[in-house]
Each structure stands twice: as C-alpha cells, then as structure tokens.
Structure 1
C-alpha cells in the first residue's frame, strides 16, 4: 500500500487479530504485531476487529478478553471487540470456504458476548470493565431483528464507538435504502466505523461475495453514495470518487 501511494489517502490503518481462534501466532504477540506495522507508517493503527470464541469453553473468552485488554489498551487508539451477539445457528457465516473450513467455520457462531438467545456470557462483565476505551463490532444482516436490542445493549455497556457494515450486495434488494437508513439512524449516537463489503454475485468477476467487481467504478460509486448519505459533513475532496479523479 505504501509503494502504490494508498497510505497517502487514508486516515488510519486497521488490523484484525484472532490469535486464540484463527491466527498462527500467540496472543502475547499483539504488541509485536502492532510494532511491525508502525515501522512502515506513521498513521494511527486501529484494531478494528479482535475477539475470542466460546467454541471450546466460555471461560476462555473471559481470559482472552482480559488479556487482550492488557495488551492493547494504550497501544492502539481504537479497539473494537468482535462481537456483541453470537451468529444465529440458522444463518450462514459469510466466509470464503464455509463448512470446508472445518471447526474454524463453526467458531464464527460463538464469538458474541451474548448468546443467540440474548443472554449474557460470563465475558460480558469483563468487557464492561473496559468501556468506553474498547468498542464493539456488530454486523447486521438485512432487516436484522436484533438492531434495536443491540443498540440498547451497547448503550447499557457504555460503548461509544462501534463498527458495522453496509453491503453492496444488499443495495440491490428491494427497500435497501429504507433498511440502510433505519440502521444508520439507530446507530447515530455512536462513533461508527463503516465497512463497505460484499460483492453482488451478478456484479463480480466470479459469483461470490469476495469477488473483485466487474467494474470497480460501480463499487466506488456505492461507497461514495453511502458516504454522501450518511456522512454529509465530509468534504467532497474526501470522497473516494473525488480522490480517484484527483490522482
């Protein structure tokens, strides 16, 4: 990114880490990982997704959250814990290979501080000790019935910043803007980091949500439209399409 000048057009570098579930490094290596990135950029380094599943035992999540807070608070200006809710078992986890990932796939369903039925796991109490310094990640599916309860929980926990997504694929659904408006209005009291994600099958080079777009400008226009709609305070020079033309 540095070689191609990408870092000249961003305000922070975001990293994810799940050393107790998916990464091939240990949890105590977090400061080293942050330090490695700091050697190539002076930008703030956000940990925009970090978490521990309860796939093996709920007690592991308690320990992992506490240790993560010890290692990261003070070393990264923004830390967002994944996630508030367990993914419902009736839904699919949006991953590259799904069930072919073996047990790695099923860990996606156990990342929440709340169980699928909304009851708290033991780690919720530990998380409460670290707000508002630690934020949350919560992905909302199209017309997600958990939205209002999630907002209530985040306010109760003292969360002030959170990360979620707006799906390019969902933008082709009927009434998509109504749902996007409802979601973003519900989250208006938080400092929200939005990820623009998920390629529509009919607009990808392959029919897959991770596919590069057939026409990159179409994805850029979706991003620009969402920024204009939900972050109108940004100057026109900050919009992706404007940056591209300036470059």
Structure 2
C-alpha cells in the first residue's frame, strides 16, 4: 500500500519550514537524516523521498548533499507550478529536472506536485495539463497532479506568503480537477487519458469529508499512484488513530507516497507547524511508527 515515504513537504519554502528559525537548514538536515534512518530500520523496501522542493533549487539539493541528507533518501522530489506561481515558463520543465539530476545523479527524481489552476479559465488548466504530461511523463518515474479537488473556500490555504501573493493567493482554491461542489472541470477528461501514468496528489484534512468521494473518483479515473500526507501535528488530536486508520484503509487500493510533516506546537522550537522540532528524534519516531503501522516489513514480505 505504501510505496514511498516523503520526509517533509517543501522544506525550502517558508510556508512549510521556517528559515528564520533554521537559516542554514542544519536542523532540517538532522531531522531528515534521522527520519530516513528510522524509516529504513522499519521497512527498507519503502522508498524514502526528500520532501518535494519548491522552488526547484539545485543549490538547496547540493547543500542537503554536503550535509549527508542524500545518503539517507532514495528519491529527490520537486514541485512546480509555472503558470501560477513560479517565475519560469512551463516549457522549461525538462531543464528544471536536469538541474536536479546534475547534483543528485545517483537518485531518482520525482515530480510530486505539478499543477495548473483554473483561476483564469478552465481552458488554461487543460493546456497546462497536456503540456505537463508531454514534458514530464516518461521523463521522470513519478508525476503527481495537484490536485483532485479544489480547496474549499472556507478553508485556509497552507501558506505564509499570503501577504505577498496578492490575488495569486486565490489560485490555491482553483488547483483541482473537480470543483468544490463536485462538478468536473474540463481538464478532468484530459487527466483520465494520462492515467495511470500520471498520479494524483491530494491532501486530506483531519476527518476530511471528501475521502470517500476522492477514492471513488480516483478509481473511476484509473489512478494507481497517489500522494497524500499523515500529519505529525494531527497525531496529537483526540481520535487521531481512528482517522489515520480510516484514511489509510480507504487508500489501500493505491500505491501511495505518504508525506510526513507539520510540527506539533509543543514539539517545535516555536509553536507553529512550520517550526523545526526541538528534538528531531521525535519526528523520526513518528515516521517509524507510521511505517510500522501501515507498511510493516513482514506484511510486504507476506504479500510477495
């Protein structure tokens, strides 16, 4: 069920890791190294993925390499949204992949979040999906489209850039292939033509009411590869075990890349989900417990 475990999400993006608290990324490096070791100790068959970087920055990956992080991961992941946020044209996707391959030649490179919103027009999203498929499918082993569903307007987007984004903040709410009310967008049919080679990236909030609908849609679309997350922060909520079990049981039909991230307030240097942990071993322990719970080595051996 779990193909890979992603260690954090966008660690070079201040929306997910606070650079003021860890300006040299030394705490992140220690956190990623210990998490990688912990995951491998429970099940060495689960691929370890360095949290998808945004922006795509070879200098950041080279820094992780010199600090020993790449020794403890199997995959380096990238995220790109050239028609919505990035300052490069969509046609540069191959170049961006090549830049990371150059500094991590011994690792697979996955595109674990790619997407184009329908903020301006649904036809723009259709173009973006088709161009992304043309440029990336077959170029990298895994491509995950972000996302299946639009973010509900009453939910807040996970970002610390809001004050600097202006109207682009609202693009967060238009990245799905399906509208908030369940209406398919024009690009949904196009996505189906590229499935299962193209996977889906879909976050599920705690006790997310969209889970069952998401599973039904993904099966209908022929999706086999899914990326989602299990929140370290959520693991301290009452009832977290029941929700995690329900989520992972519902997703059992898919080859899943599960992302571990979000620091609990009391475990952080500062009380915020983007904070580096006070003790990276507590995050490593969370990763190990989740792999033991949902992808134990003996289960994989029994299936094989």
TM-score (norm 2): 0.75
Q: Name structure 1 gaps, 5 residues minimum.
A: 236-247
Aligned residue number for residue 36 of structure 2: none
CA distance in 1, matches of 2:169, 2:256: 27
Whether the 8 Å CA contact 1:65–1:123 is kept in 2: the answer is yes
SS in 1 for 2:79: strand
Aligned residue number for residue 80 of structure 2: 17
Whether the 8 Å CA contact 1:96–1:210 is kept in 2: the answer is no
Whether the 8 Å CA contact 1:139–1:164 is kept in 2: the answer is yes
Residue of 205, 210, 219 corresponding to 2:283: 219
Question: Do structure 1's residue 206 and structure 2's residue 281 form an aligned pair?
Answer: no
CA distance in 2, matches of 1:204, 1:104: 29
1:112: how far off? 0.2
Residue of 150, 157, 171 corresponding to 1:86: 150
CA distance in 2, matches of 1:210, 1:101: 19
CA distance in 1, matches of 2:161, 2:267: 20
1:171: how far off? 0.6
1:234: how far off? 7.3
Question: Do structure 1's residue 75 and structure 2's residue 132 form an aligned pair?
Answer: no
CA distance in 1, matches of 2:125, 2:241: 36
CA distance in 2, matches of 1:225, 1:207: 23
1:97: how far off? 3.5
1:19: how far off? 0.5
Q: Deviation string for 1:61-80 (max 9, x for gaps)?
A: 00000000000011011000
Aligned residue number for residue 173 of structure 1: 237
1:100: how far off? 4.8
Greater relative contact order: 1 or 2 (C-alpha under 8 angstroms, separation 6 or more)? 2
1:37: how far off? 1.0
SS in 2 for 1:85: coil
Aligned residue number for residue 227 of structure 2: 163
1:5: how far off? 2.2
Matches within 5 A, 1:132-147: 132-147=196-211
4+ aligned runs moved over 6 Å, structure 1: none
Aligned residue number for residue 111 of structure 2: 47
SS in 2 for 1:39: helix
Q: What's the RMSD between the two structures over aligned residues?
A: 1.3
CA distance in 2, matches of 1:218, 1:13: 23
Question: Alignment length, in residue pairs?
Answer: 235
Q: Deviation string for 1:117-157 (max 9, x for gaps)?
A: 11100000110110010000000000001000100000000
Residue of 114, 120, 134 corresponding to 1:56: 120
CA distance in 2, matches of 1:2, 1:196: 21
Aligned residue number for residue 131 of structure 1: 195
Matches within 5 A, 1:100-119: 100-119=164-183
